[in-house]
Structure 1
Amino acid sequence: MNSSFNARNAVVALVLLGLALLPLYSALSGNIFILTLFTRIVIFALAAASLNLIMGYGGMMSFGHAAYLGIGGYAVGILAFEGIGSGFIQWPVALAVSALYGLVIGALSLRTRGVYFIMITLAFAQMAYYIASGLSRYGGDDGLTIYKRSNFGGVIDLSNRVQFYYFCLGCLFGGLYLIWRIVNSRFGMVVQGVRSNEQRMQAIGFHANRYRLVCFIISGTICGLAGALLANNTDFVSPAVMYWTRSGDLMVMVILGGMGSLFGPVIGAILYLVLEEVLSQFTEYWALIMGPLLLLIVLFARGGIMGLLGRMSRG
């Protein structure tokens, strides 16, 4: 058992060390693109980690999680469009709107279970997508260009690639730490207990839906933070970021890395987006190659990459 845990920890340590030293490699090699690519990867890793909180630990299979990416991004973009460029205003608004959306959607969708829950979260995400498409003042289907990144009054310059990368990495580490604290708290234990046996948890006095709802809101708020980062990274936000296929991408990242493991979504995001980037350089039909590769990984690596590492160590 110890070798299994040591193997996982070794891989996680190497990944985290690589992420921390990436700007140094980029500067020494002159490869600016890799820094741009991994900034995007870190942002999506944060979004995937937020989904893992409800899907891996809470057993809530949300198929509309990408809606929070769009909500966080549009909060930043719309305020910038209206002349409010301060990050100290934009970002709290992005988090608050994401939390409010999570509260409303969670209160409605958590009344259902199984495939009905999946379809309701998908339906609400598609509603958010069509609402954003109808905002003609803010670009409609064409999206909204953000001409100036969030201003934090000289505390940090988001226009600087290296500073922005480390800011994103700091948000990822902060998000992972928050999730770790939640999962290992009494609240987190109840959420995991509800996932395993809801009837028993209710019988001993826990209100299952209240715990699920709070977890759902926290997850959406963290993903809204990822949306604010993504909007600043691309200097653009569009309804496409809320489309159901993007929610599917986040689910694949979580499953690929390992549901219910803290660092699984990070490893899943790195593997998925690096594969996407490499394959797309060879063919525009990269998805036809990616699909079977992911299928093989899922079939032969139960528990994702983290689960595979554990079995290889025991073997």
Structure 2
Amino acid sequence: MRAVLRDALPFAVLAAAPVAATLAGADWLVPVFTRMAVFALAAMALDFILGVGGMVSLGHAAFFALGGYVVGIGSHHAYDGSPTPFFGLPGWNDLLISLPLAFVVGAVIALPFGWVSLRTRGAYFIMITLALAQMVYYGLVGLTSYGGDDGISMWWGHNTLAGFETADRIVLHFLCLALLVVAFVVLKRLRAAPFGRVLDGARQNEARMRALGYRPLAYQVGAFAVSGGIVAVAGALMANVDEFVSPGMGHWTISGELLVIVILGGIGSLSGAVWGAVVLLGLEEGLREITEHWPIILGPLLVVIVLFARGGIAGLVARLGKGGGRAGSP
């Protein structure tokens, strides 16, 4: 029960924060908390393959951008009424289409990415994922029909949800938070299932798993595809938060930021990805208000947190919870 409460705590923070900000008259903070939820979703998907499968990817920004462009392109064509490159279909402006399509596009692209990358290990795997993501990035830059390097400004507004408007900041925030909770439950169950146990076994000793009759590569590629699909959904949500899509969503720095969030929150802890997003984006926003040179302060702060919070923020919260339990016992 205590572990369940610890897992629920960061979600409760993200649920309460925008409501408190609105009541305090600080509505401008609501999109900040929504960005936390979106980045937590993407980081959680990365943590699944990193913490369970041992796959350190620097290419997940590609799926983030692809999810954004699914929304941007579909919404653009829905507005002007012209058919899209997606098999000549008419445009779409509903999240019931955008989100599943973003997942499918992200997962389908992640399949060959994973298959190629997993032919290598270690630093080579990291570099190949980075190289493949940069290919996507420059491919998006070349989409001159959709703004090229300038991207797509969704000045016509957010996607709808089954015909209902999502322009209200609180509504959009809780939609993102709901999807974050769903992803957490699915990934946690997947990690505990035989699929997750095979992944974990392959991370520890791949040769032994082969000797037991398993095909680790198939499980690893499958996990990479699921992760890519979820990150693409996060990108689709971010397009609605910012009302803007650009190749910058696929830049390698986004992959680096997701990796920092995972490490900060605690590798292998899905709820830690939520803590990592809350702390990192919260520090960025707070320090940005203090000085324009905020990265100089943020860097040492992150080093201190990683050095003294063994197991990341999730590990620190778990130790504090255990300590509180002992102190309160008779």
Query: Which residues of 2 match residues 207-222 of structure 1 at below 5 A?
Result: 207-222=215-230
* One-letter identity of the residue aligned with 1:71: L
Name 1:104's counterpart in structure 2. 112
* One-letter identity of the residue aligned with 1:191: L
Deviations 1:38-97 (A, max 9, x none): 011100000000000101111000011111110000011011112223323333321211
Q: In the alignment, is residue 171 of structure 1 matched against residue 195 of structure 2?
A: no
- What is the rounded CA distance, in whole Å, between the counterparts of 2:150 and 2:34 in structure 1? 24
Deviations 1:280-306 (A, max 9, x none): 112222111111111122122231112
| C-alpha spacing 1:178/1:9, structure 2 compared with 1 (3 Å) | closer
- What is the rounded CA distance, in whole Å, between the counterparts of 1:283 and 1:37 in structure 2? 18
Query: Which residues of 2 match residues 114-263 of structure 1 at below 5 A?
Result: 114-146=122-154, 147-154=156-163, 156-263=164-271
Whether the 8 Å contact between 2:18 and 2:170 is mirrored in structure 1 is yes
**SS of the residue aligned with 1:82?**
helix
Aligned residues: 309
| C-alpha spacing 1:17/1:91, structure 2 compared with 1 (3 Å) | closer
1:14 is displaced (CA, Å) by: 3.6
1:24 is displaced (CA, Å) by: 2.9
**SS of the residue aligned with 2:158?**
coil
**SS of the residue aligned with 2:290?**
coil
Q: In the alignment, is residue 35 of structure 1 matched against residue 30 of structure 2?
A: yes
TM-score in terms of structure 1 length: 0.93
TM-score in terms of structure 2 length: 0.89
Name 2:93's counterpart in structure 1. 86
Q: In the alignment, is residue 304 of structure 1 matched against residue 317 of structure 2?
A: no
* One-letter identity of the residue aligned with 1:136: T
* One-letter identity of the residue aligned with 1:225: V
Whether the 8 Å contact between 1:72 and 1:227 is mirrored in structure 2 is yes
1:151 is displaced (CA, Å) by: 2.5
**SS of the residue aligned with 1:263?**
helix
Name 2:46's counterpart in structure 1. 51
* One-letter identity of the residue aligned with 1:55: L
Name 2:326's counterpart in structure 1. none
* One-letter identity of the residue aligned with 1:283: T
Deviations 1:147-204 (A, max 9, x none): 23222333x4211211111110100000101101100101111111111111111111
* One-letter identity of the residue aligned with 2:55: M
Whether the 8 Å contact between 2:18 and 2:33 is mirrored in structure 1 is no
**SS of the residue aligned with 1:162?**
helix
Whether the 8 Å contact between 1:95 and 1:221 is mirrored in structure 2 is yes
Whether the 8 Å contact between 1:64 and 1:123 is mirrored in structure 2 is yes
Identity of aligned residues (%): 46
* One-letter identity of the residue aligned with 2:53: G
**SS of the residue aligned with 1:85?**
coil
Whether the 8 Å contact between 1:85 and 1:151 is mirrored in structure 2 is no
- What is the rounded CA distance, in whole Å, between the counterparts of 1:46 and 1:144 in structure 2? 23
Aligned equivalent of 2:62, options 39, 59, 67: 67
Whether the 8 Å contact between 1:85 and 1:149 is mirrored in structure 2 is no
Whether the 8 Å contact between 2:41 and 2:180 is mirrored in structure 1 is yes
